[in-house]
Structure 1
Amino acid sequence: MGNIEIKGEKTEFFIPTVNFNAETGICEIAGESYLEETFEFYQKLIDWLTQYINEEKKPIIFNCKLTYFNTASSKAILEILRLLKNYQQEGGHAQINWFYHEWDDDMKMEVEDLSLDADVSINLVTF
C-alpha cells in the first residue's frame, strides 16, 4: 500500500497539504481547505483510509492542522471522523488530534462540533 503526499497550495482555491503514511499509520492534513472539487479530493483520502483499515489493521494517528475549512470540506472531514470512529468501535486504534492556534476560539468550537457530530473523541492541541 502506497502513501499519499499532496503539496498544499494557495491560488484561487486552497488545497491542504496531505501526508498519509502507510508504514507509520500517521495521517496528516494541514493548511487551509477551500477546494473546487472537494468531494473528489477527500474521496481519495477516505478510500485510502478505508483500504488501510481493511488491509493493514494497524493503529492510525490522524493529525489535523487545518487553520480554515469551508462547509464542503467540513462534510468530508466529518466522514473521515466517522470512519475513524467505526474503526475504533471494531477494535482498531485511531487517535485523532486537532492542532489549532490557542487564540482561535472559532476553530476550537468548530472542532468540538465535529466531535459531537461524529460522536468521536478529538484531542485538541494548541500551538
Structure 2
Amino acid sequence: MKDLKIVSTQSTPLIETDSHRGVVYMEGDSYPENSFEFYSELVAWVTSYLKDNERPMTVELALLYLNTSSIKVMMDIFDELEEHHQKGRDITVNWRYDVDNERVAELAEEFKEDCSFAFNIIGQE
C-alpha cells in the first residue's frame, strides 16, 4: 500500500500516512478551495487501509482551523472509522490542540460526541 505525504500549504494541512503502523497524521490549517478534491487521496487511503487488513488505526491530528467543507470531509472519515470500530476494529483518534485555542477544542468535542472509539482531546501549552 502506497503511503501519502502531502506537503502543507497556507490553506492545507500536512498529511502523512504509515500503512505499516496504521497511522494517519495531519497538522495545520484546512481551508482548501475544494476540500473534497484535496482530501480525496486521504479518503481513498483510509478506505483501502480499513478494507485490506484488520490492523488497528490511529489518527493523529494537530489541526488548527477547519472550514465548513473540511469539517464535512472529517465527518465522513470519522463515520467510516466508526463503522469499522462497530465491527471490532481498534480505532484511536488523538487530537492535539493549543490550550489557547478553545474553538478547536470545542470542534474536537463535537466530533467526539458521535464516536464510540477512543477519541482523546489533548491540550498542549
Q: TM-score range by the shorter chain?
A: over 0.9
- Pair 1:106-2:106 in alignment: no
- Pair 1:80-2:77 in alignment: yes
Tell me, in whole angstroms, the C-alpha distance in 1 between the residues paired with 2:54 and 2:2: 15
- Pair 1:27-2:34 in alignment: no
Q: CA deviation at 1:72?
A: 0.5
Tell me, in whole angstroms, the C-alpha distance in 2 between the residues paired with 1:2 and 1:54: 15
Tell me, in whole angstroms, the C-alpha distance in 2 between the residues paired with 1:21 and 1:59: 12
Counterparts in 2 of 1:44-123, with a 5 A limit?
44-116=41-113, 118-120=114-116, 121-123=118-120
Which residue identity does 1:98 align to in structure 2? Answer: W
Equivalent residue, structure 1, for 2:5: 5
Identity %: 26
TM-score using structure 1 length: 0.91
When the two chains are superposed, the root-mean-square deviation of aligned CA atoms in Å is: 1.1
TM-score using structure 2 length: 0.93
Tell me, in whole angstroms, the C-alpha distance in 1 between the residues paired with 2:41 and 2:70: 13
Q: Which 4+ runs in 1 deviate beyond 4 A?
A: none
Contiguous gaps of at least 5 residues in structure 1: none
SS in 2 for 1:15: coil
Q: CA deviation at 1:87?
A: 1.2
Tell me, in whole angstroms, the C-alpha distance in 2 between the residues paired with 1:57 and 1:17: 26
Q: CA deviation at 1:56?
A: 2.2
Tell me, in whole angstroms, the C-alpha distance in 1 between the residues paired with 2:49 and 2:79: 15
- Pair 1:41-2:38 in alignment: yes
Contiguous gaps of at least 5 residues in structure 2: none
